[in-house]
Structure 1
Amino acid sequence: MRATGSRRLLLIRLLVAALVPLGSLAMALPAWAGSALSAWRINREGALELRTSPNSSAQAFFEEGRGGVGPRVWVDLPGAPQRTRTIPGSGVVRQVRVGRPNASTTRLVVEFQPGTRLDPRGLKLLGTSRDRWRMDFGAVAAGLAPLGEGDLEAPSAPSWRATVPERAVLPSGPVPSAASLPDVPRGRYKVVIDPGHGGPDPGAVGIGGLRETDVVLDVSLQVAQLLQAKGIQVLLTRTSEVDVDLPPRVALANNSRSDAFLSIHANALSMARPDVNGIETFYFESARSRNLAQAVQEQMLAISPGSPDRGARPGRFFVIRRTVMPAALAEMGFVTGQLDSPRLADPAFRRRMAVAIATGILNYFLQNP
């Protein structure tokens, strides 16, 4: 999602893909201590590259320049560096700073010269493997000079995997079918289902390389089929691994005059926090949106015993804030969670989740005719 104001969240978490080796530009590695950041560089192609601990989370931000200060891009990673420092830049890069905004975070800041123009719409931090990241700076790349710290070419370390309990992980019993869903008047309702992320944006990547985009597309397609079987007209914002920006998703929904909109996602936190699990659903302001979120939240919890109830609560995500019909955004569990992740990876559980979400939508229509 995107933040408001001059700061825009440009987070795209780890994408598992082959890394194309580049000539090393690294200097001697400073002491990073407990930081997830192991090395960084601005390469000859004008892109920022990072090497991190395997399966680390990362957040990237952009801030426009003002008051004689150039624009900045920064990346926050888990773990604090042993020392902070400023590295002089060259060309359009004024300087690079390694900071410690709090006791558990490393912040790498690339500050550009005043007057440099960056297009935040093209700035994406992409995971190119489980411990490598890349951000292309676009049109300003020609003015960038090589700069960096650490060994970007070091071999990848073994990935961390959570210890998953052998018992009581996956719900048992028969998988429900479309026949078990409640009935609503056929042909009366229209729904937009929005599978989050897609294409080069995998969303969150969790335990064992479980990708959010794979989970949500599978569940969303099944939800659509289940609703169609009940006489609901369904529109999907995507049906394959393609990148769809947020405004087109909203435009499709608003132009369709749908009766409800549901965006489907999977949550994530640091890979160092497998203890964090849970299901939550967001809505924006209206009573009908709240009712939709509550109906879906109730059903998702019912098929995921032991997963914490994080509630149906207000949120300001773009796709639910800009849609004109009742809208909600469902987070089916944490791909980084020790309890949730193996469930979300299981096809039978995904089917249960699809039935649950479809049931929640149908219950909403029954309760809000």
Structure 2
Amino acid sequence: MPRLCIPLVLTLVVALIAPAPLPAQSAGSDMPTEITERLWRDPGPEQDGPGAPRLMVVYPAAAGGPYDGEAMRYAGRVDPEDATVTLNGDELQVYPGGVFTGLRRFGDAESETWTFRAAAGGKTTTVSRSLRIRRPAPPPAHWPLQFASWPHSPSGLFVLPEGEELEIKLFASPGHSAEYRIGEAGAWRAMTPAEPHPRLGGVYTASLTPPLLDDAGPRTVHFRLSGSHEGRSDRIERASALRVAARPDGVRYAGRVTNYLANYLKHSDPENWDRYGQLVKGTPFPVTEVRGDRCKADFGRGETGWLELEHVKIDWEPFAGPAPRLDETRVVVTSDSLTLAWPDAAQPVLYVFDDRSHAGPEHEVRLSLPGADESMRCDPPDSLPGGPVDSLQFRPAEGAAAPAFLISLTRPLWGYSMLAGASDEADQPGLRFVLRTRPRLPAATAAKPLAGARIMLDAGHGGDDLGAIGPSGLVEADLNLVQAAWVQTYLEELGAEVEQTRRSHATVDLDERALAAHRWDPDLFVSLHHNSVGFTSDPLADSGPIVFYHYDHARPVAETVGEALTSAIAPDRSPRVNSAVFRVARNVLLAPSILIETGYVCNPHDEAALRRTESIKQSARAIAEGIRAALTEPAD
């Protein structure tokens, strides 16, 4: 078949929409719309006899621990609210609503008892908690010989280019002789003592050169420590969690994506979790390196990236190709999308997407196809009227450069993804790349400004996963569900079509939430949560809303919703909008995905508001208003 680029251009008429006022309050879903405070009912508070105060201790939990760190957060609730509450004799502050919370330091022992006592009207109720405290293990002493609790660095699988060295460290008793060997039968090689580590003890280093990969696969690294003390000699040995091999020059191994939610990483740095793009399940790629938890895809065309090992399978056979042929490129344009479809593609292809649409007025993006056959050609149409594309250029493979599309948009990017199938029809062969700008809403009116918009709401946690728990016993999973019901109510009154990932107290896996978004294909994905600090942090250290996003194309929506929410419930504060790597934020690409933390359930002031239905409705109304603004008001 000839290599073609066929334009199929569709245009739509877009109505001008004036912002509408928010609707009146109502509850129109089948989900719970009020907080039940179920922990106050079951298991409920304790009471030492009729007329005694009712006392519930949320933290420390009755069956919790062991606890790390130097301090522990406590929290609970008492009735009546004017009761006096003490912890091991120290009076605690009781906040409105009868809640108490704070941070208390541990003593020096490895276990201790915290006794909470509530007193009112001459009667008392006592609740005790037995705590086990896990102290940091001391570094290994000089004698007897011992490996540290974290014995070596790095760990995991490392397959490096031939001749490249790997720096390794052993942590063990200081002042002795350390060696390593590769495999069961390798020769022992000396390691060099280094400055001791304050927590891990003696440090021994070496530069390891992995052997070439053979049929036996990567080899396990073994460590040995030998020494003497006061006339006694000893030697200890252990197999490590480090496996190594070298890739022969010119060899690339065959990798394949096993989960279509696999993310393409920008860096090999294990501390860097920036992701860009997702790969279709079954995408083949050549593996040139493996480092710890990720492998490198490198077609030798200047486009490289890393994939997490949990989402790929490596056969350790040479990557034979051939590269997928993308002979016929069909171009489909609507009022708010561009689709590049390859109906004859026999398998998915590795791609790299560079979003520059929010960096300047040109709104440029680049789709590179390093996994495609270098013979790929395309002659884009000279004009694409009625859609979001100002210009579309194709650059064939040349030298180290992969085939690529350069796309100039008339407005900022809204979402993108590579999808299996040349169309939305079920079981269609082929492949397509979809790029979207903010959806046009031609059915919208002043009364229904979101008519035609599809919003997916995700009430975080649920089922066995309660999420954070406030000092009153307020369960985050319940709170998220009630808030999601009210957000749906207000969005539907604005004309939007709304779908939920969770409508009941059920467990929904994080990946299933993202899969639900892929199946339903919303214009916006909003995950609803409520925040908390860790068990070893001050529960009053933070408060108020935060909105998170991962991809740059979701940032403007996060900022708009964050401003609306903060103005409504914390008008004296500046909006907080941060980038993060939450799973639902990074695994939804075709539309902006944001995650909202409305407040801190651990903070007694925030929790007091969150326990009131009117406050939940206020935040839900503000979120709906922010969504309306993000979808209808002029973009910057």
Call closer, same or farther: CA 1:185–1:98 in 2, change over 3 Å: closer
Counterparts of 2:571 and 2:507 in 1: how far apart (Å)?
A: 34
1:298 aligns to 2:563 (yes or no): yes
Query: Which amino acid letter does the alignment assign opposite residue 134 of structure 2?
Result: V
User: Which residue in the other structure is 2:592 paired with?
Assistant: 326
For residue 335 of structure 1, report the CA deviation from its aligned partner.
0.6
Call closer, same or farther: CA 1:274–1:225 in 2, change over 3 Å: same
User: Which residue in the other structure is 1:82 paired with?
Assistant: 108
Counterparts of 1:192 and 1:211 in 2: how far apart (Å)?
A: 22
Runs of 4+ in 1 over 3 A off after TM superposition: 15-19, 36-40, 48-56, 77-81, 181-187, 305-310
1:99 aligns to 2:135 (yes or no): yes
For residue 222 of structure 1, report the CA deviation from its aligned partner.
0.8
Counterparts of 1:237 and 1:275 in 2: how far apart (Å)?
A: 31
1:351 alignment partner, SS class: helix
1:98 alignment partner, SS class: coil
Query: Which amino acid letter does the alignment assign opposite residue 579 of structure 2?
Result: P
Call closer, same or farther: CA 1:335–1:84 in 2, change over 3 Å: same
Considering only CA atoms, is the larger Rg found in Structure 1 or Structure 2? 2
Please give the TM-score of this superposition, normalised by the length of structure 1.
Answer: 0.53
Query: Which amino acid letter does the alignment assign opposite residue 331 of structure 1?
Result: E
Provide Cα deviations, 1:199-246, integer angstroms capped at 9, x if missing partner.
111110012111111211111111112111222111100111111110
Call closer, same or farther: CA 1:290–1:98 in 2, change over 3 Å: same
Call closer, same or farther: CA 1:38–1:217 in 2, change over 3 Å: closer
Call closer, same or farther: CA 1:298–1:240 in 2, change over 3 Å: same
Counterparts of 1:307 and 1:340 in 2: how far apart (Å)?
A: 14
Equivalent residue in structure 2 for 1:225, among 471, 489, 513:
489
Question: Does the Cα contact within 8 Å between 1:182 and 1:359 map onto a contact in 2?
Answer: no
1:213 aligns to 2:477 (yes or no): yes
Counterparts of 1:359 and 1:209 in 2: how far apart (Å)?
A: 30
Counterparts of 1:353 and 1:340 in 2: how far apart (Å)?
A: 12
For residue 299 of structure 1, report the CA deviation from its aligned partner.
1.3
User: Which residue in the other structure is 1:202 paired with?
Assistant: 466
Question: Does the Cα contact within 8 Å between 1:55 and 1:205 map onto a contact in 2?
Answer: no
2:604 alignment partner, SS class: coil
1:357 alignment partner, SS class: helix
For residue 313 of structure 1, report the CA deviation from its aligned partner.
1.2
User: Which residue in the other structure is 1:314 paired with?
Assistant: 579
Counterparts of 1:338 and 1:55 in 2: how far apart (Å)?
A: 9
Q: Which runs of 5+ in 2 are unaligned?
A: 1-37, 45-58, 77-102, 112-131, 138-148, 150-238, 241-444
Equivalent residue in structure 2 for 1:337, among 603, 610, 625:
603
1:254 aligns to 2:518 (yes or no): yes
Q: Which runs of 5+ in 1 are unaligned?
A: 1-14, 20-35, 41-47, 57-76, 86-95, 102-108, 116-180
1:226 alignment partner, SS class: helix
Equivalent residue in structure 1 for 2:509, among 245, 254, 257:
245
After superposing the two structures, state which structure 1 stretch, 205-214 or 183-192, moved more.
183-192
Call closer, same or farther: CA 1:328–1:342 in 2, change over 3 Å: same
After superposing the two structures, state which structure 1 stretch, 228-237 or 269-278, moved more.
269-278
Provide Cα deviations, 1:297-331, integer angstroms capped at 9, x if missing partner.
11111221367446111010000100021010000
Counterparts of 1:358 and 1:368 in 2: how far apart (Å)?
A: 17
Q: Which has the higher contact order (CA 8 A, sep 6+)?
A: 1
Call closer, same or farther: CA 1:185–1:301 in 2, change over 3 Å: closer
Identity, % of aligned positions = 25
After superposing the two structures, state which structure 1 stretch, 184-193 or 201-210, moved more.
184-193
Question: Does the Cα contact within 8 Å between 1:250 and 1:323 map onto a contact in 2?
Answer: yes
User: Which residue in the other structure is 1:281 paired with?
Assistant: 547
Counterparts of 1:367 and 1:316 in 2: how far apart (Å)?
A: 28
1:191 alignment partner, SS class: strand
Call closer, same or farther: CA 1:342–1:291 in 2, change over 3 Å: same
Question: Does the Cα contact within 8 Å between 1:202 and 1:212 map onto a contact in 2?
Answer: yes
Question: Does the Cα contact within 8 Å between 1:307 and 1:340 map onto a contact in 2?
Answer: no
Query: Which amino acid letter does the alignment assign opposite residue 599 of structure 2?
Result: G
2:616 alignment partner, SS class: helix
2:472 alignment partner, SS class: helix
Please give the TM-score of this superposition, normalised by the length of structure 2.
Answer: 0.32
Question: Does the Cα contact within 8 Å between 1:281 and 1:331 map onto a contact in 2?
Answer: yes
1:354 alignment partner, SS class: helix
Pairing of 1:94-173 with structure 2 (within 5 A): 98-100=134-136
Counterparts of 2:455 and 2:607 in 1: how far apart (Å)?
A: 28
Counterparts of 1:223 and 1:367 in 2: how far apart (Å)?
A: 19
Query: Which amino acid letter does the alignment assign opposite residue 244 of structure 1?
Result: V
Query: Which amino acid letter does the alignment assign opposite residue 566 of structure 2?
Result: L
2:609 alignment partner, SS class: helix
Aligned length: 229
Question: Does the Cα contact within 8 Å between 1:205 and 1:211 map onto a contact in 2?
Answer: yes
User: Which residue in the other structure is 1:359 paired with?
Assistant: 625
Question: Does the Cα contact within 8 Å between 1:278 and 1:310 map onto a contact in 2?
Answer: no
For residue 365 of structure 1, report the CA deviation from its aligned partner.
0.3
Query: Which amino acid letter does the alignment assign opposite residue 550 of structure 2?
Result: F
Provide Cα deviations, 1:51-96, integer angstroms capped at 9, x if missing partner.
987549xxxxxxxxxxxxxxxxxxxx984562679xxxxxxxxxx9
After superposing the two structures, state which structure 1 stretch, 302-311 or 259-268, moved more.
302-311
Question: Does the Cα contact within 8 Å between 1:80 and 1:100 map onto a contact in 2?
Answer: no
For residue 291 of structure 1, report the CA deviation from its aligned partner.
1.3
Provide Cα deviations, 1:21-69, integer angstroms capped at 9, x if missing partner.
xxxxxxxxxxxxxxx87997xxxxxxx876987549xxxxxxxxxxxxx
Provide Cα deviations, 1:258-285, integer angstroms capped at 9, x if missing partner.
1100000000125743242121000012
Counterparts of 1:366 and 1:256 in 2: how far apart (Å)?
A: 21
Counterparts of 1:233 and 1:83 in 2: how far apart (Å)?
A: 58
Question: Does the Cα contact within 8 Å between 1:292 and 1:364 map onto a contact in 2?
Answer: yes
Larger fraction in strand: 2
Question: Does the Cα contact within 8 Å between 2:566 and 2:575 map onto a contact in 1?
Answer: no
Counterparts of 2:555 and 2:491 in 1: how far apart (Å)?
A: 20
Call closer, same or farther: CA 1:53–1:292 in 2, change over 3 Å: closer
Question: Does the Cα contact within 8 Å between 2:542 and 2:600 map onto a contact in 1?
Answer: yes
Counterparts of 2:627 and 2:579 in 1: how far apart (Å)?
A: 18
Counterparts of 2:62 and 2:492 in 1: how far apart (Å)?
A: 50
Counterparts of 1:307 and 1:346 in 2: how far apart (Å)?
A: 21
Question: Does the Cα contact within 8 Å between 2:547 and 2:595 map onto a contact in 1?
Answer: yes
